[in-house]
């Protein structure tokens, strides 16, 4: 392509991209954003701000503000931490900030910027796809029309609104195609190495999906040659394998930490049945994932187009992907063989666009009779499809629009082939672009109205439901009173687990698809901390349990005034505003705690959750059984046998609870509790027999449980709820049938916590700087271990007095250090897992890429 043509293509792509965002550009004038109300606000915006803040401060790997602390480079690789588009955005924004063109970016800045980044991204997709279609010898206007069909797919806007990082995947498909063709046709691997290495670096999850497509494309290409003298399959295989290995090496500094983060996450197996085929949606009229263009439906009935190998290639790929679209098992396979997710349909958008581009290129050679038959066949297909639409569904209102688009497309197609006039051909291509613009803007309107996108506005971002001035002021006031290295605040807006990231404080909650599984197990199994909401991708709060608050430096507790019941023991009012109250812990513990007492996780398996809390307070609990340890000999007694259980609003027999009234459950009435008891720890197993979601209430404490077939269900049904001492404990659930068993009841007087807090010990000196923790401690009393509230995670390296030492998994999910007698100069440093090895692979990849790309090959 000539420079003038490239410039014109970029300009037209920008104009079409802006027109494709017309609806949201209008919305932006009214203070609304192109963002989903759920993950868009809860993940996309917070993670953008979080990564920008850390990267521009020179911190690239670890943050104590990432939930309870974590390696965000690897855990956020699924989102933006390795995104090339976001890297470029950071550079531009940082330069604008540095030259004082803009103020320091905040949440509202990233909300405003989303639409402009999307316009640029989509224009890149249009330009690159046009260039690739031109390489495949498709006429330029047909190539651009096909690119528009691909870029202006509903999947692009679904992704960019709800999960923006998903939309980057559409950049790589056309680049993969040209990279593959370069090897097959020319035997040159440079483009393949460049594309695959960047793709693997950018996002491991969509690389997985794109590599599925790459495999399909190569297999279909071997069956359908496009040019003469293509390289032999053995030579191709050698080049694909060699180039793929080099690409892996070049991307290793991103891909390996990201892959480790994925495998160090835990997703319970999806237990619901996954059918082979299912009626997913209506892709002819309205679908959340793919709207098949009328031109594609018309072209697939034209037999003579199948004489052209390129059309056959795209058509057959499209047929396969349509089949996979209707297969939940395929949806599971594309999602890593987990719960079915329909995120791969952008592949179908590309192959459909290829069909249309090739069809337009060869349209002049199609017989008029074939056009007429294709129109009749297409009208029949749409008529049959419309018969399956429920007239009460919102889809029905779109039916007339789709039929109108079909008729207009068919009319222009017939007129062109009747007259074979270039004017009618340009009108047809222009109509395809206009109809694509119309469809995506209607789709954006639908998202706004039906998916709550219109609620995402500047006013909402400044409201108490997200980030009000009152909340910010209270957080700032608390942070001014916190001690070094840091103290955590137990506070989040309901369902917004990333509130600490938004409001920039050290919190106790996090919402991310990739989490440190040690923390998940800590919450789900080891300490059974209820989060107020069941979810596989969140953790939150500490269950209002004072022992855990003190152990994990969570010394402030904030709630709205109407929800200030269940204040953790030992907390006193610190500050209040019009709507919120903050409490401060009067029983804090130091960040670095030393001990002579060592307990074993295995020995405590049969103990209660309260035993484990006491063991962590009185010493350290280690996973490594080879370390000499002492037996736990102070078990807390289960008092459930000294309590009576009564059914309320239903019956409770043989561990089955049947609630006939709107709300019911059981009452547990403790008998003769200890006079010093402050709280009860109530444990029980609960499941809804019908597999329905439900709200569970224990006295003033509320939590929710997922449906059996929810993809976000933890499959953990054993709960431990801390309840302030009362005459009775009421478990309440909605009408229905439940299994309630394994009920336990423990009493807590906090004597252990108070003894530990009041113990006169030497506190080590701690300093935290980004991904480094330094501690100075003079061990004069024979302390064996130091316990730190740093989540245990691969990537930490420990040196004591300049010598490398092992790190122990302690207190179920945190860090333990074996102390030496006398002076201990401790240095903990974090780098992403296998980072040094990844850097070596990167250097090997550079050398190999240079050698392979400069090796001359014989032309065939």
Helix (H, G, I), strand (E, B) or coil at 615: helix
Rounded to whole angstroms, the Cα distance separating 48 from 42 reads 11
Helix (H, G, I), strand (E, B) or coil at 432: helix
Asked if the structure places residue 54 within a domain, the reply is: yes
User: Which residues contact residue 652 at a Cβ distance below 8 angstroms, ignoring those fewer than 6 apart?
Assistant: 645, 658, 666, 740
Q: What share of the chain is helix, strand, coil (3-state, %, to 5)?
A: 50, 20, 35
- End-to-end Cα separation, the chain, in angstroms: 25
Measured N-to-C along each axis, helices 107-135 and 45-56 cross at an angle, to the nearest 10 degrees, of: 90
Asked if the structure places residue 72 within a domain, the reply is: yes
Q: Which of 127-131, 449-453, 470-474 has the lowest mean pLDDT?
A: 449-453
Rounded to whole angstroms, the Cα distance separating 530 from 698 reads 12
Average model confidence (pLDDT) for the chain?
94
Domain count, the chain: 2
Instruction: Answer yes or no: are the C-beta atoms of 145 and 429 closer than 8 Å.
Output: yes
Half-sphere exposure of residue 805: CA atoms within 13 angstroms, side-chain side: 20
Q: Which residues constitute the domain of residue 432?
A: 3-453
Which neighbouring-strand residues pair with 664? 733
What average pLDDT does the segment 377-383 reach? 92
What average pLDDT does the segment 473-495 reach? 93
Confidence band of 420 (pLDDT split at 50, 70, 90):
confident
Asked if the structure places residue 594 within a domain, the reply is: no
Nearest Cα to Cα of residue 730 among 655, 644, 656, 668: 668
Asked if the structure places residue 551 within a domain, the reply is: no
Task: Reply yes or no on whether the pLDDT at 388 is more than 80.
Answer: no
Tokens of 816: 């333990």
Task: Reply yes or no on whether the pLDDT at 394 is more than 60.
Answer: no
What average pLDDT does the segment 839-845 reach? 97
What average pLDDT does the segment 454-474 reach? 96
What average pLDDT does the segment 464-474 reach? 97
What average pLDDT does the segment 693-714 reach? 93
Task: Reply yes or no on whether the pLDDT at 798 is more than 80.
Answer: yes
Helices (H), 152-272: 154-162, 169-181, 190-202, 204-223, 233-263
Task: Reply yes or no on whether the pLDDT at 346 is more than 50.
Answer: yes
pLDDT of residue 1: 65
Asked if the structure places residue 429 within a domain, the reply is: yes
Instruction: Answer yes or no: are the C-beta atoms of 104 and 2 closer than 8 Å.
Output: no
Asked if the structure places residue 840 within a domain, the reply is: no
Asked if the structure places residue 788 within a domain, the reply is: no
Task: Reply yes or no on whether the pLDDT at 608 is more than 80.
Answer: yes
Confidence band of 253 (pLDDT split at 50, 70, 90):
very high
Confidence band of 189 (pLDDT split at 50, 70, 90):
very high
Specify the CATH number for the domain of residue 743: 2.60.120
Q: Which of 224-228, 438-442, 671-675, 809-813 has the lowest mean pLDDT?
A: 671-675
Q: Which of 281-285, 293-297, 657-661 has the lowest mean pLDDT?
A: 281-285
Tokens 């932006």, residue located: 28
Measured N-to-C along each axis, helices 204-223 and 233-263 cross at an angle, to the nearest 10 degrees, of: 160
User: Which residues contact residue 454 at a Cβ distance below 8 angstroms, ignoring those fewer than 6 apart?
Assistant: 27, 32, 448
Between residues 823 and 392, the one the model is more confident about: 823
Rounded to whole angstroms, the Cα distance separating 449 from 447 reads 6
Last residue of a domain, one of 453, 488, 512: 453
Last residue of a domain, one of 418, 453, 488: 453
Confidence band of 575 (pLDDT split at 50, 70, 90):
very high
Task: Reply yes or no on whether the pLDDT at 859 is more than 90.
Answer: no
- Containing 734, the helix (H) or strand (E) segment is strand 729-748
pLDDT of residue 397: 63
pLDDT of residue 860: 47
Rounded to whole angstroms, the Cα distance separating 510 from 523 reads 12
Backbone angles phi, psi at 171, to 5 degrees: -70, -30
Task: Reply yes or no on whether the pLDDT at 393 is more than 60.
Answer: no
Last residue of a domain, one of 753, 788, 805: 753
Which neighbouring-strand residues pair with 704? 695
* DSSP line for 788-828: EEEEP-BTEEEEETTEEE--EEETTTEEEEE--SEEEEEEE
What average pLDDT does the segment 717-724 reach? 96
Between residues 348 and 331, the one the model is more confident about: 348
pLDDT of residue 285: 83
Q: In whole angstroms, how far apart are CA 598 and each of 616, 746, 815?
A: 9, 24, 14
Measured N-to-C along each axis, helices 609-618 and 751-758 cross at an angle, to the nearest 10 degrees, of: 10
Count CB neighbours of 839 within 10 A: 13
Predicted TM-score (pTM) of the model is 0.94
Asked if the structure places residue 348 within a domain, the reply is: yes
Task: Reply yes or no on whether the pLDDT at 401 is more than 50.
Answer: yes
């Amino acid at each position: 392509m000539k420079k003038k043509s490239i410039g014109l293509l970029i300009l037209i792509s920008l104009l079409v991209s802006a027109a494709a965002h017309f609806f949201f550009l209008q919305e932006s004038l009214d203070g609304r954003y192109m963002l989903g109300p759920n993950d868009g606000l809860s993940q996309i915006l917070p993670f953008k701000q979080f990564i920008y803040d850390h990267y521009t401060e020179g911190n690239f790997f670890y943050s104590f503000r990432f939930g309870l602390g974590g390696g965000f480079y690897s855990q956020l690789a699924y989102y933006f931490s390795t995104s090339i588009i976001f890297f470029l955005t950071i550079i531009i924004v940082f330069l604008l900030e540095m030259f004082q063109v803009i103020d320091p970016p905040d949440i509202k800045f990233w909300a405003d910027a989303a639409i402009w980044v999307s316009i640029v991204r989509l224009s890149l997709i249009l330009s690159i796809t046009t260039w690739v279609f031109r390489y495949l010898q498709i006429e330029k206007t047909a190539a651009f029309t096909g690119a528009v069909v691909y870029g202006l797919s509903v999947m692009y806007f679904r992704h960019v609104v709800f999960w923006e990082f998903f939309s980057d995947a559409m950049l790589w498909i056309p680049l993969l195609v040209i990279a593959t063709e370069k090897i097959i046709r020319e035997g040159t691997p440079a483009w393949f190495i460049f594309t695959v290495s960047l793709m693997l670096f950018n996002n491991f999850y969509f690389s997985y999906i794109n590599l599925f497509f790459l495999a399909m494309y190569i297999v279909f290409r071997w069956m359908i040659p496009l040019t003469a003298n293509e390289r032999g399959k053995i030579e191709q295989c050698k080049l694909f394998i060699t180039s793929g290995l080099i690409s892996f090496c070049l991307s290793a500094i991103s891909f390996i930490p990201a892959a480790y983060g994925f495998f160090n996450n835990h997703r319970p197996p999806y237990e619901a049945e996954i059918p082979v085929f299912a009626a997913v949606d209506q892709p002819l009229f309205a679908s959340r994932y793919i709207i098949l263009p009328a031109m594609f439906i018309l072209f697939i009935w034209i037999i003579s187009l199948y004489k052209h190998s390129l059309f056959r290639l795209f058509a057959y790929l499209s047929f396969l992907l349509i089949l996979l679209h209707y297969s939940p098992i395929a949806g599971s396979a594309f999602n890593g063989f987990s719960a079915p997710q329909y995120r791969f349909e952008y592949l179908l958008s590309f192959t459909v666009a290829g069909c249309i581009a090739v069809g337009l290129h060869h349209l002049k050679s199609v017989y008029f009779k074939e056009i007429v038959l294709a129109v009749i066949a297409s009208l029949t297909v749409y008529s049959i499809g419309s018969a399956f639409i429920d007239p009460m569904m919102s889809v029905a209102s779109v039916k007339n629009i789709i039929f109108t688009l079909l008729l207009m497309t068919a009319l222009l197609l017939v007129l062109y082939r009747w007259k074979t006039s270039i004017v009618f051909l340009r009108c047809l291509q222009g109509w395809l672009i206009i109809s694509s613009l119309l469809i995506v803007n209607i789709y954006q309107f639908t998202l706004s109205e039906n998916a709550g996108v219109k609620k995402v506005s500047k006013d909402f971002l400044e409201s108490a439901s997200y980030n009000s001035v009152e909340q910010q002021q209270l957080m700032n006031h608390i942070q001014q009173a916190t001690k070094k290295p840091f103290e955590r605040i137990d506070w989040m807006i309901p369902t917004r687990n990333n509130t600490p990231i938004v409001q920039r404080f050290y919190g106790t909650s996090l919402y991310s698809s990739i989490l440190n599984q040690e923390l998940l197990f800590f919450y789900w199994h080891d300490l059974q901390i209820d989060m107020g909401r069941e979810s596989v991708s969140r953790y939150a709060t500490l269950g209002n349990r004072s022992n855990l608050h003190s152990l994990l430096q969570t010394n402030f507790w904030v709630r709205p005034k109407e929800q200030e019941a269940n204040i953790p023991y030992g907390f006193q009012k610190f500050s209040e505003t019009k709507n919120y109250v903050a409490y401060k812990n009067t029983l804090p513990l130091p960040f670095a705690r030393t001990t002579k007492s060592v307990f074993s996780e295995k020995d405590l398996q049969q103990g209660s959750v309260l035993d484990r809390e006491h063991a962590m307070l009185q010493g350290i609990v280690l996973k490594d059984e080879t370390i000499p340890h002492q037996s736990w000999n102070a078990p807390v007694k289960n008092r459930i046998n000294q309590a009576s259980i009564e059914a309320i609003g239903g019956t409770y027999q043989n561990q089955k609870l049947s609630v006939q009234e709107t709300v019911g459950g059981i009452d547990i009435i403790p008998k003769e509790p200890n006079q010093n008891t402050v709280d009860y720890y109530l444990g029980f197993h609960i499941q809804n027999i019908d597999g329905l979601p439900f709200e569970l209430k224990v006295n003033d404490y509320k939590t929710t449980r997922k449906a059996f077939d929810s993809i976000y269900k933890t499959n953990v049904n054993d709960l431990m709820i801390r309840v302030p001492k009362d005459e009775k404990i009421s478990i309440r659930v909605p009408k229905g049938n439940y299994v309630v068993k394994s009920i336990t009841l423990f009493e807590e007087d906090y004597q252990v916590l108070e003894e530990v807090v009041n113990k006169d010990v030497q506190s080590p000196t701690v300093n935290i700087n980004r991904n480094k923790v330094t501690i100075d401690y003079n061990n004069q009393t024979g302390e064996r271990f130091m316990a730190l509230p740093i989540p245990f995670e691969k990537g930490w390296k420990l040196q004591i007095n300049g010598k490398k030492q092992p790190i122990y998994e302690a207190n179920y999910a945190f860090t333990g250090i074996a102390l030496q007698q006398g002076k201990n100069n401790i240095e903990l440093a974090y780098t992403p897992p296998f980072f040094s090895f990844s850097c070596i692979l990167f250097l090997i990849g550079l050398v190999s890429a240079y050698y392979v790309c400069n090796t001359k090959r014989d032309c065939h």
